[in-house]
């Protein structure tokens, strides 16, 4: 039996019946394990060199600020250029930066400013890579497999998130941070080879437009449609106030839980296990209906888990709570990602996903900076508890808006399927499919 036939029958892995997507997943899995090696090793390196929560936050700020500033350009590139070629360029650039950091570290020439500069360079790469990679998924699968492909992509990311930190903790303790960076650089070879083997149909050429007009179209599209605004806003709140807990993990590992570098890898690995479970839960869903409730509920669950983690002083309990944060993080971000891609027409998808990158990663540098400064002043546990509380409040606010957003989302979907320019041109309340019965979860996908 062929691989395509095997996955055709699977509910959880049906997107893997597409050859291009199988190549993409295989290459990305190897590369992403390396990425998590670098992430954990870099945090520990900065903490070892500077012994400062503030500098941990500054390095995170330097690495993520370019995503905020340049993601609109990345989205424009994703909508105008060959996405596969853009990804080959971004992955090659990331490989060079990882090998440079590894060489400096192994040679004992690395400094915190050097780490910050390389992190900023990687942020520039990510500003183009993320919207391109996410909008490229629909070129590799058919539309009915999009939600499954995004969920499997999250599964892949979080399988790497589970393995990478645990391996990094052992390697950092055994041979130092530099070899983690070098292994990460070598891991990019797999994804570059996979991308070169992928074959997709040429995309239709768009009429030429000025870059300012092109960028403006993306912002206007997002601003005009309530469901897209709401999803981006909720992702932004979680990114700004909740996600910076990861920047402070070395402080928790060293000063709060007293488990050292190896324990840091295990703690972050626990979050990865939870995230992998969340992604597999989403992969089993066949429809986007009800995902809005998942996104809002998961944001609240993430906040509650952070509050409990902040007050825990037992490593075992902290592991369980980090499992919950990982589970909730993936449910919220992957559900939002799926809804945004489903609600966006193909010619706007790259720019909408660039806005997703801006809110998910682009706001994180400010969260990292303020969390580092706050942890220096009031302590890491109090800082994380405050961030979790904001996530809970945001979840409660957006849950009250869900009924109205469902109707708007249904109108937008109907407009996209009809090729209309605006939901007002369609009948509000149309089903995702004219033969679908009303959903018990509500009338629309959110």
First to last CA, the chain: 38
DSSP 8-class letter at 188: H
Query: What are the tens digits of pLDDT across the range 121-156?
Result: 999 998 899 888 888 887 888 777 777 887 787 777
**Local confidence band at 168 (pLDDT 50, 70, 90 cut-offs):** confident
Q: What pLDDT is recorded for position 238?
A: 92
Domain ranges of the chain: 12-196+209-417
Q: Which of 77-81, 166-170, 415-419 has the lowest mean pLDDT?
A: 415-419
Is the CB of residue 219 less than 8 Å from the CB of residue 334? no
Q: What angle (nearest 5°) sits at the alpha carbon of residue 303, between those of residues 309 and 271?
A: 55
Is the CB of residue 162 less than 8 Å from the CB of residue 272? yes
Residue 397: pLDDT over 50: yes
Count the Cβ atoms, other than its own, within 10 Å of residue 403.
12
Q: Which of 81 and 425 is assigned the larger pLDDT?
A: 81
Query: What are the tens digits of pLDDT across the range 299-317?
Result: 999 999 999 999 999 999 9
Residue 1: pLDDT over 80: no
As a residue count, the chain comes to 446
Mutual angle of helices 146-175 and 19-50, in 10-degree steps: 40
Residue 236: pLDDT over 70: yes
- Averaging pLDDT over each range in 134-143, 178-187, 208-217, 424-433, which range is the top one? 178-187
Torsional sign, CA 15, 225, 432, 214: negative
Question: Over the chain, what is the mean pLDDT?
Answer: 81
Which of these CATH numbers, 3.40.50.2300, 1.10.645.10, 1.20.1250.20, 1.10.3080.10, describes 12-196+209-417? 1.20.1250.20
d(Cα 158, Cα 181) in Å, to the nearest integer? Answer: 19
Torsional sign, CA 130, 131, 136, 141: positive
Query: What are the tens digits of pLDDT across the range 28-75?
Result: 888 888 888 888 889 889 988 887 777 877 887 888 788 878 888 888
Which residue matches tokens 């440079």?
100
Residue 212: pLDDT over 70: no
């Amino acid at each position: 039996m062929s691989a395509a036939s095997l996955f055709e029958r699977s509910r959880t892995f049906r997107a893997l019946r597409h050859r291009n997507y199988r190549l993409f997943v295989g290459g990305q899995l190897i590369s992403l394990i390396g990425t998590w090696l670098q992430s954990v090793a870099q945090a520990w390196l900065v903490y070892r060199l500077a012994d400062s929560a503030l500098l941990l936050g500054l390095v995170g700020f330097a690495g993520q600020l370019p995503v905020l500033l340049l993601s609109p350009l990345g989205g424009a590139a994703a909508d105008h250029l060959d996405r596969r070629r853009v990804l080959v360029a971004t992955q090659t650039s990331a490989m060079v930066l990882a090998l440079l950091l590894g060489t400096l570290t192994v040679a004992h020439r690395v400094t915190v400013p050097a780490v910050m500069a390389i992190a900023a360079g990687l942020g520039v790469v990510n500003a183009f890579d993320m919207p391109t990679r996410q909008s490229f998924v629909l070129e590799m699968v058919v539309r009915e497999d999009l939600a499954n492909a995004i969920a499997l992509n999250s599964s892949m990311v979080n399988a790497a998130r589970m393995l990478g930190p645990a391996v990094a903790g052992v390697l950092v303790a055994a041979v130092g941070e530099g070899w983690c960076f070098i292994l990460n650089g070598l891991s990019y070879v797999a994804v570059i080879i996979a991308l070169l083997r992928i074959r997709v149909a040429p995309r239709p050429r768009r009429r030429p437009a000025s870059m300012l007009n092109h960028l403006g179209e993306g912002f206007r599209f997002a601003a005009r449609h309530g469901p897209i605004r709401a999803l981006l806003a909720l992702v932004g709140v979680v990114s700004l106030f909740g996600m910076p807990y990861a920047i402070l993990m070395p402080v928790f590992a060293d000063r709060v839980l007293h488990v050292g570098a190896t324990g840091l890898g295990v703690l972050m690995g626990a979050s990865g296990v939870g995230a992998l479970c969340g992604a597999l839960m989403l992969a089993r869903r066949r429809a986007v209906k009800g995902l809005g409730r998942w996104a809002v509920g998961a944001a609240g669950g993430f906040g509650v888990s952070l509050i409990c983690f902040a007050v825990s002083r037992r490593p075992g309990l902290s592991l369980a709570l980090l499992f919950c944060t990982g589970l909730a993080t993936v449910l919220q971000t992957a559900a939002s990602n799926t809804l945004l891609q489903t609600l966006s027409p193909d010619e706007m998808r790259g720019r909408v996903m660039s806005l997703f990158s801006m809110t998910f990663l682009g706001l994180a540098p400010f969260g990292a900076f303020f969390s580092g400064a706050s942890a220096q002043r009031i302590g890491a546990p109090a800082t994380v508890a405050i961030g979790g509380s904001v996530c809970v409040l945001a979840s409660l606010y957006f849950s009250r808006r869900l009924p109205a957003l469902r109707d708007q989302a249904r109108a937008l979907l109907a407009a996209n399927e009809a090729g209309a320019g605006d939901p007002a041109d369609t009948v509000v309340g149309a089903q995702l499919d004219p033969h679908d019965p009303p959903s018990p979860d509500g009338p629309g996908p959110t």
